[in-house]
Amino acid sequence: MTATTEKPSSATDFATEVVTHSLVRDVALPGGAGTLALITLDNGHDHTRPNTFGPASLAELAQVVQTLHRRAAATEITAVAVTGKPFVFAVGADLSGVPHVAARKQALEIARAGHAAFAAFEDLPVPTFAFVNGAVMGGGLELALSATYRTMSAGVPAVALPEVFLGLVPGWGGCWRLPNLVGIERALTVVVENPLAQNRMLKGPDAHRLGLSDVLLEPADFIEESVAWAARVLSGEVVVERPDVDHDEAAWSAAVAKARALADAKTGRQARSPYVALDLLAAARTATREEGFAAEDDALADLIMTDELRAGLYAFDLVQKRAKRPAGAPDRSLARKVTKVGIVGAGLMAGQLALLVVQRLQVPVVLTDVDEARLAQGVGYVHAELEKLAGKGRLSPDRLRRLSRLVTGSVDKAGFADADLVIEAVFEEMAVKQQVFAEVEAVVGAACVLATNTSSLSVTEMGSRLQHPERVVGLHFFNPVAVMPLLEVIPGEHTDEATLATAFAVGASLRKTCIRAADRPSFVVNRLLGRFMGEAARIVDEGTPIEVVDRAFAGLAPMPPFVLIGLVGPAIALHNGETLVRAFPDRFWASPTLKRVVESGRRGFYDLSSGRPVLDPEVLELVETPADPVVLDVAAVRERVLRVLADEARRMLDEGVVASPKDLDLAMITGAGFQFWNGGLTPLLDRTGVAEAVTGTRFLPPGVAQVAAPG
């Protein structure tokens, strides 16, 4: 499915679809095993435009399979295999046309078309093979599951059924085929658990261990080895043995119940798709293929017509498209070349930055700190992390040596003299950062960009005492640096276009999602999280138990607010809150309870030693019950916090902190892990009516991130 200018009347009307062609060639099998018809899926683009299945793609595949059925019946071929273009097998349905699906009947046609094409492949009168050579997700994996046998490349970077992450279910056979292939527990991992874990992907070897393939082959000669393996299977030299699937009702039901509890914890029952998937997986124990497919058809048709899916696709579009074209970024031609990077500080954040920079930019990186011991620790951290990557096979010995040599340390900032970019990652104190920049400016060249990793302080004020404040820019990374995709790029009042362009170019080279933010307190994510966590803390300070407050945010935030405080660190959370209170004392809250936790030296509100969060009884003793406590229930807590988020989001847009509500959503998705099925933040505020109740207007036009009204 792809977007069209008019609402189509049926699933086959998506005329602008980028068609994934099914290209067939005959391959003579070694050892006299006959002829294999090899289908190669290819949409004519390179790997940056993966193979997807829209209506025309499915129709072509079905037609090709029909021809192969006749050839097989005539004994012209002894087997059929399907593979993908270089680096990509197929990544599922082309969902870009879903916003134009206006009726359930249309959605049902889409579901049935996928089932028909894949079932026809499965029903060929000769053995079928899937040679999974590259990324395989969604409908692509469901096609592979419909084959009799599967080979998988050890180099496959991503294997997933991510539908639940978006607000869908695997609806082209995945919910029926997978549990009957690998068992219910493993199927639940792939269909429900991984999508709810921020869309966790499997690599080829991991997928093989779960039983998603019959053999794992090296990538260098993958197709040739797959063909040879297929020949050995056909000749009987290789007999594929798979463990029997336990269909015991009690065990199956227990596994589903456990996954349902996980879905409750992750979504607070605010999302529909995990539960639909669980029902389909539960029914797969006894359902026939036809019954399973019919149930998937109905489920897919229903979910396509939900706001949940439309919000998920809106979020997906932000991450895939808007993230690649940051609003407000200068022309990249203005960017200066960066051939050496300096990092002030040698603590954990500085070490993470150095590791990322040397891996992505592959240029010399110099760290500085006040003494040799701290410096050695920081440089040692980077070298140790590189060695870990090499130990996992992700760096060759030569690359390990080269990258390690690029990372050095010095107690003298003179080592920055020929640097093109210097990033400060020191204590979050304005006077300290101003002094650092003054010392750096004294030794660097005129074109060197000075970047601050501040999470909340003014970039303009930080550069106000420099001779050249135009070279100062904010580059706010999120912790852990290697994992979190977001990079907030903050120009100060005097930042020039070349400096800003360089900042965006570096962010792109570091493979970060860059968002331009105005130089306002705490910028984007920390300001919204500050209002979010501050209000949650205020509710606790007023008398509502912590566990009630934390339960209110399942399905909104990636983790409860008091668990999140433990992750970012109570001291950092308190500092951000106090910064925002100083800037906006009328609406932000610096919690006395949080201050007592910081003063006690505790690392958070929860004890995580058991592997799951348990409220620390010593921390609970620091919570003071007011004389007249106000105790809210979960619904009231959620409503109150959503209201203050709507208020803050509107204020930030009015202040021009970002260019659009879309940037608020992109920031909260990539910097704070807010869920796709909510569309980030603003679609949820629109959909619940909170936006209009608080601000008098929606954030997004009607029909954006939701099912459009008829007409």
Give dist(CA 638, CA 572) in Å, integer: 24
Instruction: Give pLDDT, residue 101.
Output: 87
On whether residue 681 sits in a domain, the answer given is no
* 557 confidence band (pLDDT: 50, 70, 90): confident
pLDDT at residue 196 tops 70: yes
Q: Are 357 and 365 in contact (CB under 8 A)?
A: yes
* 337 confidence band (pLDDT: 50, 70, 90): very high
Provide the β-strand partners of residue 513. Answer: 486
On whether residue 671 sits in a domain, the answer given is no
Last residue in a domain, options 495, 516, 537: 516
Across the range 620-625, mean pLDDT stands at: 92
Across the range 215-226, mean pLDDT stands at: 97
Whether 554 and 445 share a structural domain: no
On whether residue 668 sits in a domain, the answer given is no
Dihedral sign computed on CA atoms, order 501, 506, 512, 517: negative
Instruction: Give pLDDT, residue 453.
Output: 96
On whether residue 432 sits in a domain, the answer given is yes
Residue 596: exposed, middle, or buried by beta-carbon count in 10 A (0-12, 13-18, 19+)?
middle
What's the Rg (C-alpha) of the chain?
A: 27
Q: Which two tokens stand for residue 603?
A: 């690392």
* 2 confidence band (pLDDT: 50, 70, 90): very low
Whether 195 and 59 share a structural domain: yes
pLDDT at residue 7 tops 80: no
pLDDT at residue 708 tops 80: no
Last residue in a domain, options 500, 516, 532: 516
pLDDT at residue 162 tops 90: yes
Sheet strand arrangement including 79-84: 21-28, 35-42, 79-84, 128-132, 149-153, 215-217
Residue 494 CA neighbour count, 13 Å, CB half: 16
pLDDT at residue 165 tops 80: yes
Last residue in a domain, options 290, 305, 320: 305
Whether 49 and 149 share a structural domain: yes
pLDDT at residue 99 tops 90: no
Supply the DSSP symbol for 445.
-
Instruction: Give pLDDT, residue 14.
Output: 56
Provide the residue type at 180 as one letter. Answer: N
H helix or E strand, kind and range, residue 104: helix 104-122
Whether 206 and 255 share a structural domain: yes
Across the range 451-471, mean pLDDT stands at: 96
Instruction: Give pLDDT, residue 9.
Output: 36
Percent over 90 (pLDDT), the chain: 87
Token pair 């869309």 is at which residue? 199
* 15 confidence band (pLDDT: 50, 70, 90): low
Whether 54 and 151 share a structural domain: yes
Across the range 113-132, mean pLDDT stands at: 97
Instruction: Give pLDDT, residue 709.
Output: 66
On whether residue 706 sits in a domain, the answer given is no
Instruction: Give pLDDT, residue 11.
Output: 42
Across the range 693-705, mean pLDDT stands at: 95
Whether 574 and 506 share a structural domain: no
* 48 confidence band (pLDDT: 50, 70, 90): confident
Whether 452 and 601 share a structural domain: no
pLDDT at residue 370 tops 80: yes
Across the range 418-429, mean pLDDT stands at: 95
Whether 125 and 85 share a structural domain: yes
* 45 confidence band (pLDDT: 50, 70, 90): very high
Across the range 263-290, mean pLDDT stands at: 95
pLDDT at residue 96 tops 90: no
This prediction's pTM: 0.90
On whether residue 3 sits in a domain, the answer given is no
Across the range 210-219, mean pLDDT stands at: 97
Q: How many domains does the chain have?
A: 3
pLDDT at residue 64 tops 70: yes
Q: How many residues does the chain have?
A: 711
* 558 confidence band (pLDDT: 50, 70, 90): confident
On whether residue 145 sits in a domain, the answer given is yes
φ/ψ bin of 367: left (φ > 0), alpha (ψ from -120 to 50), beta (otherwise): beta
Angle CA 28–33–36, to nearest 5: 45
Whether 556 and 617 share a structural domain: yes
CATH number at residue 363: 3.40.50.720
* 365 confidence band (pLDDT: 50, 70, 90): very high
More confident residue, 6 or 223: 223
Whether 504 and 531 share a structural domain: no
CATH number at residue 647: 1.10.1040.50
Instruction: Give pLDDT, residue 8.
Output: 33
Residue 539 CA neighbour count, 13 Å, CB half: 28
Give dist(CA 554, CA 543) in Å, integer: 21
Q: Are 472 and 492 in contact (CB under 8 A)?
A: yes
CATH number at residue 194: 3.90.226.10
Percent over 70 (pLDDT), the chain: 97
Listed residue (67, 56, 166) closest to 114, CA to CA: 56
Kindly give the interhelix angle for 348-360 and 372-391, rounded to the nearest 10 degrees: 50
Q: What is the pLDDT of residues 679-698, one digit of tens each?
A: 999 999 999 999 999 999 99
Across the range 544-561, mean pLDDT stands at: 90
| SS3 annotation, 353-380 | HHHHHHHHCCCCEEEECCCHHHHHHHHH
Could you tell me how many helices (H) and strands (E) the chain has, helices first?
A: 29, 19
On whether residue 163 sits in a domain, the answer given is yes
Whether 496 and 575 share a structural domain: no
Q: Which structural domain, as residue segments, surrounds residue 529?
A: 524-656
Whether 189 and 337 share a structural domain: no
